[in-house]
Structure 1
Amino acid sequence: MTKPKIAVIFYTMTGTNHQVAEEARKAAEAAGAEVRLRRFAETAPKDVIEGQDQWKAQLEKMQDIPEISHDDMVWADGYFFSFPTRYGNAPGQVRAFIDTLGPLWQKGKLADKTATATTSAMNTHGGQESTLLGFYTTLMHWGSVIIPPGYTDDALYAAGGNPYGYSANAGEFDDTGRAAVAHQARRLVQMTARVAEEAVHKAA
């Protein structure tokens, strides 16, 4: 089976989605994938970040993690995205990068790649589902193969049963959540390998 290349890409302010991304990275590597862990660049004004200790500390903690680049997007066979919801949508930091990808998707360089996403909010009904559903429309424009977790493992029911992608309450990423994220990451790897194998057979 083809060894898939997975980019685990996240944005976080306080650390929840960083934890999710690290869990996804570990699970994807254990499932046989080659993984790049990347973060969306921080675009918020420095003075705003400096005024919030937890945000500032988290940003300093992630300085060794490279920011996502166009090269990473082309390199990967599949993407695992993790970011918080902002008013039922992806954060501006995520959209700022996505909006630079026109030169890639217009040339078909993002097509036929797999993708899945997770999110978080301050409370259970803080816009998680709309965030994931809205983000998936972007992937449709790319021609991506969207890999939702659905209801394919008991861990998903234990973690709240969101079929679109795991969602957490901020600051509450526990063992139940880790199990759900690990399953979603493994499922992405498995399906990415299948898509890659099919592409190889067609090219042969």
Structure 2
Amino acid sequence: MAEPNPRRSARPRIVVVFYSATGNVAALAEALGEGARGEGAEVRVRPVVERAPAEAIEGNRRWKEWVENNPYETTASLDDLEWADGIALGSPTRFGGAAEQLKAFLDTTGGLWAQGKLASKVGTSFTSASTEHGGLETTIAAMNNVYYHWGTLIMPLGYAADPSLMSSGNPYGASWVSKKSSAPDDDALVAARVQGARLAQVAAKIAD
């Protein structure tokens, strides 16, 4: 007879790990976390450490404002990944891939990977770009490549999760095109909430 799973019926654990330069990806991360909480999940929303040189940040007003005023006191850690049943990764596009800041954090996960501690969790990804064809899908796919190596089960946003996604969503994951430095609109935030809710639902089943 199988041993009972001590986590059975417990709330699913979701961690949202992201990099944001101006706050747009952070807004999507918070909406995703909100959607997961709506499904009863325990949620941690964690930015990764900023690694860009000061002179680069100084040259961009919105980047500088975010670095100086962002509200996060706790940054992402390996413990957050091990704790979670479901993981969401978020980053602005950088030439069709994730930002170096997020990649640097992910490059520290080798120990957890070697121990199999990231396998059989559920993963999903989201992004933002400044242009309509600036690499939204390729950035999400690039982040998902990490899940393949971890053995994490990949959960796309899809279109079936909510009717509104047929007109406003990206089936790869929540995304936002920030024209003229605009913040995510209601459609983008709804897509992120739907993604978070779906991640919590699937993670709960996997944790059981």
TM-score > 0.5, shorter chain as reference? yes
SS in 1 for 2:103: helix
User: Partners of 1:143 and 1:72 in 2: how far apart?
Assistant: 17
User: Partners of 2:158 and 2:73 in 1: how far apart?
Assistant: 30
Of residues 135, 139, 154, the one that matches 1:146 is 154
Query: 1:52: which partner in 2?
Result: 60
Instruction: Tell me whether 1:192 sits opposite 2:203 in the alignment.
Output: yes
Specify every segment of 5 or more residues in structure 1 that has no aligned partner in the other structure, as ranges.
198-204
Query: 2:38: which partner in 1?
Result: 30
Which residue identity is paired with 2:128?
S
Which residue identity is paired with 1:138?
V
SS in 2 for 1:154: coil
Matches for 1:1-204 after TM superposition, within 5 Å:
1-62=9-70, 64-152=72-160, 153-159=162-168, 161-170=169-178, 171-197=182-208
Identity %: 42
Specify every segment of 5 or more residues in structure 2 that has no aligned partner in the other structure, as ranges.
1-8
1:63 CA drift (Å): 5.0
Q: Is the 8 A contact 1:155 1:183 kept in 2?
A: no
Which residue identity is paired with 1:158?
S
Please report the TM-score for the alignment, with normalisation by the length of structure 1: 0.92
The alignment yields a C-alpha RMSD, in angstroms, of 1.3
Once the two structures are superposed, what CA deviation does each residue of 1:90-136 show, in whole Å capped at 9, x if it has no partner? 11111111111111101101111111111111111101111111221
1:166 CA drift (Å): 1.4
SS in 2 for 1:41: coil
The change in CA–CA distance for 1:166 and 1:114 in structure 2 (over 3 A counts) is: same
